[in-house]
Structure 1
Amino acid sequence: MKNKKMVMIAVFVAAVIASSYGSAYAAANLEPINAFFNRGVSFVLKGELWQPKDESGNPLTAIHYEGSNYLPVRALAEALKIQIDYDAVSQKIYIGGRPAEKTPIFAMPMEIDNIYAILSKDSKETLVKNKQFQEVLKIDQYGDVVFTIDRKYKRLVLDAAVVSPGEHEVEFSLYNASDNAANTAQTILKKLAVKPDDDVKQLVFNVEGLEKIKIHVQSENTNPYIYARILDTSYFDNGDPAAKEGTPSAGSKETSTK
């Protein structure tokens, strides 16, 4: 068998995306072209040899077409830890996540300080500002919560409040908690605050490009009891396409940075 085998690029694309095309769609949108498997190409990802693979773990070979080498977008995106989704109905490939899709905060892998920060579903503790929630993260003195997000999101939209008998302003500080953060792990990327007389407040943090983040919750005073709550309506997403750059979406109440 020859090293360079003639293939149909349309068949390759269909296998990569794993979609079912009707004959009418294929006739209107798929154009057969001549291309080659380029088995002489190897890949180095972040200084190490990398072998692209399909969803079943089978090795993939680059396609050579008109002077360029092509790889399946899913294999490359997953190697770079970029979220990727395919919508078979609209025939759209979303690289970097779907803009309007939200991932609830408590559905994410996380580590919490279980001494002063505790997840609760107790109906008395989930009643915040006269609104009933299903679950909250209660932080009565100070606490940290670490989320592993693998660079899949652009924003953390945090719904937070200070409940009675809290009497101190509470600061929510964002840190880079990646193992590779080194000295920058001690640098506050953004700090937002909630006051006791505020209603539930929406805090928006930019987390684009981060693998792991830490939210540190504490008053600027020395370890007072703060009675802070992070609510289950908080979420990660890839931005609000309806909002202008730097402008919170309708109904949001982003605080200013100190």
Structure 2
Amino acid sequence: MRMKVKKSKAVRIMLVVVAMFVSSFGSAYAAANLEPINAFFNRGVSFVLKGELWQPRDEDGKPLTAIFYNGNNYLPVRALAEALKIPIDYDAANQKIYIGGKPGEKTPIFAMPMEIDNIYAIPTKDPKETNVKDKQYQEVLKIDQYGDAYFTLDRKYKRLVLDAAVISPGEYDVEFSLYNAGDTAGSAASTVLEMHSVSPDDDVKRLMFNVEGLEKIKLHVQSHNLNPYIYARILDTSFFDNGDPAAGNSSSGTIIK
């Protein structure tokens, strides 16, 4: 019985020490990084976003009120970024808030949520199908006549970097057209945002599309001559990213040899 009492006391002492350590750590962090201020909820201010009354809300949908401090009104950066359709990420480990996407973030095209026309656009890993311009790839999206591929972006990316080619026996130039496929696109969904073409004489060609601020996109692949067989291939080296500051965000096509 005595042994149990001692063990129980030891456990209680250990818990107290842990609690004191956590409290001390939290206090040290607060002392170094957090500064108390005298601020007020400003319930009299309202917001107009692009001509319409706007109510900022938190992640749970609860209304947010501006905080008035030192002559300025403040709102959480996430509420503003999402309203303006700007990607935002929070790195808790490094205490960094990324507005406009994380630099260097890159996602391969086949790792993205994708919807495709299964009749004419087919992803394949067949080695016979993935040999393009005498180079072996692991996976390609083959479009032999025409096809649409939809990608859900959630405004996380600025560019679609597309590596594409036309293989034998294709004999027509192929157009790759970008559309806004988001729920709020409305009549703009039928407007081509960007279009680039690839010739059968080209080697693998790198095409860059601006997708900044888009929730969802459609990539339409077809010949200008409408319905001939085109034998187009989208390669697994394609990806979405937030741009290359060193190279700029040019959307011109580049031949990859």
TM-score with structure 2 length normalisation?
0.75
Query: Is 1:238 aligned to 2:250, yes or no?
Result: no
CA shift for structure 1 position 48? 6.1
- In the alignment, which of 192, 199, 207 is matched to residue 195 of structure 1? 199
> Do the aligned partners of 2:202 and 2:255 also contact (CA within 8 Å) in 1?
no
Query: Is 1:69 aligned to 2:73, yes or no?
Result: yes
Q: 1-side partners of 2:147 and 2:205: how far apart?
A: 18
> Do the aligned partners of 1:100 and 1:241 also contact (CA within 8 Å) in 2?
no
CA shift for structure 1 position 139? 0.2
Unpaired segments ≥5 residues, structure 1: 1-20
The answer for the alignment partner of 2:126 in structure 1 is: 122
The answer for the alignment partner of 1:185 in structure 2 is: 189
CA shift for structure 1 position 124? 2.2
The answer for the alignment partner of 2:151 in structure 1 is: 147
- In the alignment, which of 38, 57, 64 is matched to residue 52 of structure 1? 57
Identify which range, 84-93 or 63-72, moves more after superposition: 84-93
Q: 2-side partners of 1:212 and 1:78: how far apart?
A: 15
Q: CA distance change for structure 1 residues 235 and 65 in 2, over 3 Å: closer, same or farther?
A: same
Which deviations, in whole Å up to 9, do the C-alpha atoms of 1:176-217 show, x marking residues without a partner?
A: 333444443333222211122322211001122333322111
Secondary structure class of the residue paired with 2:254: coil
Q: 2-side partners of 1:170 and 1:201: how far apart?
A: 12
> Do the aligned partners of 1:42 and 1:51 also contact (CA within 8 Å) in 2?
no
Structure number with the higher helix fraction is 2
The residue identity in structure 1 corresponding to 2:254 is K
Q: 1-side partners of 2:116 and 2:39: how far apart?
A: 51
The answer for the alignment partner of 2:106 in structure 1 is: 102
Q: 1-side partners of 2:138 and 2:222: how far apart?
A: 24
Q: Identity of aligned pairs, percent?
A: 75
Q: CA distance change for structure 1 residues 247 and 81 in 2, over 3 Å: closer, same or farther?
A: closer
> Do the aligned partners of 1:35 and 1:63 also contact (CA within 8 Å) in 2?
yes
Which deviations, in whole Å up to 9, do the C-alpha atoms of 1:58-106 show, x marking residues without a partner?
A: 6654322122221221233234443211234553311110131112222
Which deviations, in whole Å up to 9, do the C-alpha atoms of 1:139-159 show, x marking residues without a partner?
A: 001111122323332211111
The answer for the alignment partner of 2:41 in structure 1 is: 37
Secondary structure class of the residue paired with 2:217: strand
Aligned-residue Cα RMSD (Å) equals 3.0
Count of aligned positions: 231
Secondary structure class of the residue paired with 2:110: helix
TM-score with structure 1 length normalisation?
0.75
The answer for the alignment partner of 1:7 in structure 2 is: none
CA shift for structure 1 position 116? 0.6
CA shift for structure 1 position 163? 1.9
Q: 2-side partners of 1:111 and 1:94: how far apart?
A: 29
The residue identity in structure 1 corresponding to 2:199 is K
> Do the aligned partners of 1:204 and 1:254 also contact (CA within 8 Å) in 2?
no
Q: 1-side partners of 2:186 and 2:43: how far apart?
A: 39
